[in-house]
Amino acid sequence: MEIKRIPVLSDNYVFVLSDPQQKVAAVVDPAVAEPVLDYLAEIDAKLVAIFNTHHHFDHVGGNQKLVQHFSEVCVYGGAEDRGRIPHQQVFLNEGDQVEFADRVGQVFFIPGHTRAHIAYYFSPTISGEAGELFCGDTIFAGGCGRLFEGTPAQMVSSITKLRNLPDNTRVWCAHEYTLNNLKFAITVDYQNVDLQHRYQEVQIARSRGIATVPSLLGIEKQTNPFLRWDSPAIQATAKMKEPARVFGRIRGMKDQF
């Protein structure tokens, strides 16, 4: 399974999964259709699946046009998003599986950013290889999504599921927010040497127009404050220790940053 990252809108990423041998493709969170259609034409692939993580328009805005071009495409989304994702046909719950090419994707129900958010994790087929996590707007490189429809407790529970995946999991988040996320992270975890090094590396990368997605989950565990509510440094900044309260305090600080 090959993965193509396509930048769209101001800071979104759309991910196209492809199987060159079978000439088929799937797309994750198509904000817009045109760049996806152009790439599918370039690789001569038929679109067979749309994997949506949640209903926000900058994740489903391309569904309509893609379905018009590929009438047999299957549109997947969370069961709780029924009626909110255009052309949704499959309604997924925690523990369900999806298949594409030679890979099986595990579905995680991860409410918080929205009440119906899901993620897709494609485990590696060969030992030692990286798994692929498509987590929408739940975990970002260096940050996390806003709580539009969920609570801090829900988000802690959701991120815990993802945090338990292997460290070499590649995190395909849907926005290029990394530099600003790390600017904030340093203000709440300023003695974290790993974070300081990462911030310097990202500054250089972004100055050269280099994407920071995918990230590695192991790096997020070391440097992303929203995966570190049990870190003494983050607890000291929040002035509390209960996970949901720590997370809520840090998220509130980021909202005002």
The yes-or-no answer on residue 117 being catalytic is no
Residues 77 and 88: their CA atoms lie apart, in Å, by 6
- Answer for the pair 246, 240: CB distance below 8 angstroms, yes or no: yes
55 is catalytic: no
Structure tokens at 246: 């720590």
Which H or E run includes 93? none
For the chain, helix, strand, coil in percent to 5 are 35, 25, 40
Q: Is 167 a catalytic residue?
A: no
Q: Which of 29, 55, 58, 96 is catalytic?
A: 58
Of the residues 29, 55, 56, 117, only one is catalytic, namely 56
- The yes-or-no answer on residue 113 being catalytic is yes
- The answer to whether 57 touches 67, Cβ cutoff 8 Å, is no
Q: Which of 54, 81, 96, 117 is catalytic?
A: 54
Given the residues 29, 55, 59, 189, the one annotated as active site = 59
Choose the catalytic residue: 29, 55, 81, 175.
Answer: 175
**Residue 54 falls in the annotated catalytic set:** yes
- Residue in 55, 81, 96, 113 annotated catalytic: 113
Q: Determine which one of 81, 96, 137, 189 is catalytic.
A: 137
Instruction: Indicate if 56 belongs to the active site.
Output: yes
The span from the CA of 215 to the CA of 174, in Å, is 11
Residues contacting 19, CB < 8 A, separation 6+: 1, 2, 25, 45, 100, 101, 102
Q: Which residues are catalytic?
A: 54, 56, 58-59, 113, 137, 175
